[in-house]
Structures are given as C-alpha cells and as structure tokens.
Structure 1
Amino acid sequence: MAALLLAGALAGCASSAPTARGEVQGASFQSGELLQSDGNRLTQAAMRANLASLRRLADKLYRRNPAEWRKTAATREAALAQLDASVLGGQPWAPLQGQRDVAALSTALSPGFTGDRVAAFIAACADTLVTAHGGRREFYYLDGIDPQHIYNAARNMETALWILNTRRDAAGQPLLHANEITGEVRNLSFEREFGQIIGRLDLLATYTTERYRRAAIDYMQSLVAAPFLVFLPVK
C-alpha cells in the first residue's frame, strides 16, 4: 500500500515543462501490474502503441483507397470496426486463408491479391508484431521476449513500407495509395507512422539486449565483490 501511495504522489508531482502542445499521459493503475516488471510494462506499452499506430494507418489507407473498404463493408467506419474486432483483437483475417506473419505480408502485398488489401496488410503487420513478441499482447514476470525477433520485426516493417511505396499492379498503379509527393502536395504521414513503429521496436530490442547483458554483468560483479562484503567481527 505504501508503494502505491508513493507512486501516486510521484505521479502527481507538478512539472515546470511547457504543456501548450499537450501533456504526457500515463496509464491508470490496474491490479495486473503487480505481476509485471518494469520490462514487462515497457514491452506492453510498446505493443499497445504499435497496434494503435496500425489502426491509424488502416484509417489513413481506407481514406486514400476507398475501393478497398467497399469490398467488405458498407462504410469505412464499418470496415474499421471489423478490423478492430477481428484483426487487432487477435483473430486471423479470413481472406488470408490461414497464413500468418511474414507469409501473410507477402500475400497482402502480392499484385494478384483481390481481397480488401488494407485489412489484409494491417492484419499481417499486426500478426508479425505479435508473433515476434512470442504470440503475446500482455506480459508478466515469467514472460520473456527474444530481442533478435523484435529486431527482425522492425526490419520486416521497413521492408513492408518499401514494398508499399514501390510495388505496382499489372496496370502500373500502386497496390495502395499511401505517401504522396506531387507538386506542392507532401503527404508523408504513412512514413512517419511506420517510422514510429520501427523506432519502438528497435528501442525495445536494444533495451532487452542491454537488460540481459546487465544481468550477467551484475552477477559477475556480485561474485567479484563478495569477499569484500563480508561482515567482520567487532569483538
């Protein structure tokens, strides 16, 4: 209880930093946090932020490619609701025919794919991220992640973005209209959103590697320092 009160007091400390462009927000306390380490919390926060970025990308892609949401829904909002309930909720996207992570990405970015490409692409990206995190979206004390898998996921997102920007269909049109630089129009919001996902993944991979490295170093330091930390008789 004392720890919770202290945490609340620290959270309420006033900051002198400017807030004209918004304030940093923290999550409200939940009982499950008592079973999470700092690393678990960081991993879970990054996962939620990345899934939220994918949701924003889906909305942006549907706005630029309305023909895609019309393949599965009556409105763009309805298509996004389906995506929320199915893909971002952890269910496979049926048109991908059971394919997962990078195999699903290859299908979603194939010129011959005729389904809702936006949903398929976002679904594949989400499944790639979740798979890289050991198939989990929430993390507790006994849960670990492989930093190399997280690093590989970041590189896969870079590849997916490059394909999205460069690949064309049989008619020479982009598979999906995304970034745009034409005349005075410069729309790079897709690039920025993907950049945030990639940055979070790279930071998490580095943090996890460093945490494991420091654990080994701390153990070695404890062995070296042990002879000097023995209490001596005082009488």
Structure 2
Amino acid sequence: MARLAAWARAPGYGGRLLLIALLGLGLAGCQGRLAHESIVSKSSAPQAGELLQTDVDRMATLAMRDNLNSLYQLMSKLYQRNPQEWQKTGLADRAAAERMIHQAIEQNRPLPQLGGRRDVAALDYALSPDFSGDRVGTFIFALGSMLVTAHGGRTEFYLTDSFNAEFIYNAARNIEKAAWMLGQRRDSRGRPLLLSNEGGNLSFAVEFGKMVARLDLLTHMLEERYRRLGVNYAQSLLFMNFLPVQ
C-alpha cells in the first residue's frame, strides 16, 4: 500500500490515470460489438466507457443503436409479409433467422449467400431478380453493413474515434434509394420482389424516414462542430485572445 501511495503522489500521476482509463476502454472494446439487448433497449444502465465520450460520440452511439433497432423492426415486418424468405434459410423458425442476421451485422460477419458482398454491392444484389436466397435477411444485412461501414466500422464511438460526415450523409441517401427500390423492384411476372408498402402500410416508410433523419442530424452536427472550430479560432484572432489549453 505504501508503494502504491508513493506511486500515486509521483509527478505525472494524472497522466497515469488517463492511461489506466484508456487501457480499460481498450479492454472493454475487445469484448466485441454491442450486444443485441444493449442496442434495442433504452433502459440500460450507464457504462464506464461513457466517461470517454463527447456529446457527439454519445449521440452517434445512440443513433447507431436506434438505426439498427429500426432495421430489425423492418426485418420482422418484412418476414411477416414474406414468410417464404426466412424458410429459404433452412432454420427452425423466423426468430432463428432474425438472430442470424443480428449476429452477422453486429459481429461484422459476411453472409455466405452473398458471396463476400457487403454494403452497397450486397444491397444491389439482394434486390436483383436473379437472387434466389433469403431476400429479406440479405436486404437488412446489406443495410446494416452499409451503416457500420459508413461510421468507420464501429457501433460505439469514443474520443479516439473520428467521423467522415460525407460517408454518413451518403448512407442516408443510400437508405432513401433502398426504400424506393424495395417498393419498385419487380420479378419477370411484374410482381414485387418483396411485399412491403402495398395496401397503404406506411410503417415501412416511417422506419426508413427515422433512419434518414437520424443520419442527417448527425451529419449536420459533425459539420457544425468542425465549422465552430474555425469560427472560434477566427474569434480568438479578432479579439486577440489566446485559445484555452485546459
């Protein structure tokens, strides 16, 4: 204990505390992506890692969780309207098919039926007339994979992470296109590849709209954050103020 106390009083102790915190975050990150329960639940207890998140990091993490939740709701609705799709997987029931897609998205695992395709390539293939596999599962996987890729391959975000606002903006536009494709793509007989919005069912459009809105809001916040850095610097020059260092 005496040695520990002496070490704590030594110069540079604050830096050591920061190192310990970062190491703890690194160990937590080794546990993998967000568990499904923590993604879809809004009542999870605060985690220690939140101490190393800025407001934008926390917002991006919550938006990713909610966007994945929207995707899972869309998948459930699509499987309900197109039960023949989950039956193509050979799994025991629809719940098992949904779990497989959850795990593939959150653990960044490829789907064998997509032949290594991910992101936009997988999205286009899933809605092509030539595809004969589980169209619902691959469609949702492609969207989830695209979202994770646009956010730098992560589903949780911390101080050491960076964002590309353009990629997130592009992801929002891709979701808009995917929603349009879902309603327009037909087979050789003119029938919808997947039943979704037919009959005035607006629940699909609502979930797609929520995802687009979250991504656009995050894009605007990122652009504003970088713009404000420049504004603050310009103000410091104008008023001859030094920038704060602590």
TM over 0.5: yes
Hey, what does 1:30 align to over in structure 2? 47
Q: 1:83 aligns with which of 68, 87, 101?
A: 101
The within-5 A match list for 1:153-192 is 153-181=171-199, 186-192=200-206
Q: 2:236, 2:242 within 8 Å by CA — same for their partners in 1? A: no
Change (3 A) 1:78 1:52: same
**1:191-226 Cα shifts (integer Å, max 9, x gaps):** 100010011011111111011101111121122223
Find the residue that maps to 1:172 and give its secondary structure: coil
Deviation of 1:228 (Å): 9.7
In the superposition, relative to structure 1, how do residues 177 and 217 fare at CA in structure 2: closer, same or farther (>3 Å)? same
- Equivalent in the alignment of 1:210: 224
Gap change, CA 1:227 and 1:156, over 3 Å in 2? closer
Query: What SS does the corresponding residue of 2:152 show, helix, strand or coil?
Result: coil
* CA pair 166-227 structure 1, distance change in 2 beyond 3 A: closer
What secondary structure, in the 3-state scheme, does the structure 1 residue paired with 2:235 have?
Answer: helix
Query: Which of residues 187, 209, 212 is equivalent to 1:195?
Result: 209
The Cα RMSD (Å) is 1.6
Listed as ranges, the matches of 1:10-49 within 5 Å are 27-49=44-66
Percent identity over the alignment is: 53
Q: CA separation in 2, counterparts of 1:228 and 1:110?
A: 58
Q: Secondary structure at the match of 1:226?
A: coil
Q: Once the 2 structures are TM-superposed, how far is the Cα of residue 27 of structure 1 from its aligned partner?
A: 4.8
Out of 141, 148, 151, which is 2:169 matched to?
151
Per the alignment, residue 220 of structure 1 pairs with 234
2:151 and 2:164 in contact (8 A); partners too = yes
Partner of 1:66: 83
- State TM-score, norm by structure 1: 0.82
SS at match of 2:131: coil
Number of corresponding residues: 201
Structure 2 length-normalised TM: 0.78
Q: Give the helix-richer structure, 1 or 2.
A: 2
Helix, strand or coil for the counterpart of 1:114?
A: coil
Q: Which runs of 5+ in 2 are unaligned?
A: 1-41
Structure 2 residue matching 1:86: 3-state secondary structure: helix
Structure 1 segment 62-141 matched on structure 2, within 5 A? 62-72=79-89, 73-141=91-159
In 2, Cα distance between equivalents of 1:147 and 1:87 = 22
Contact persistence 1:65–1:177 (CA under 8 A)? yes
Structure 1 stretches lacking a partner, 5+ long: 1-24, 230-235
Question: Following the alignment from structure 1 to structure 2, what is the Cα–Cα distance between the partners of residues 36 and 61?
Answer: 35
- Please give the alpha-carbon distance, in whole angstroms, between the structure 1 residues aligned to 2:127 and 2:105: 17
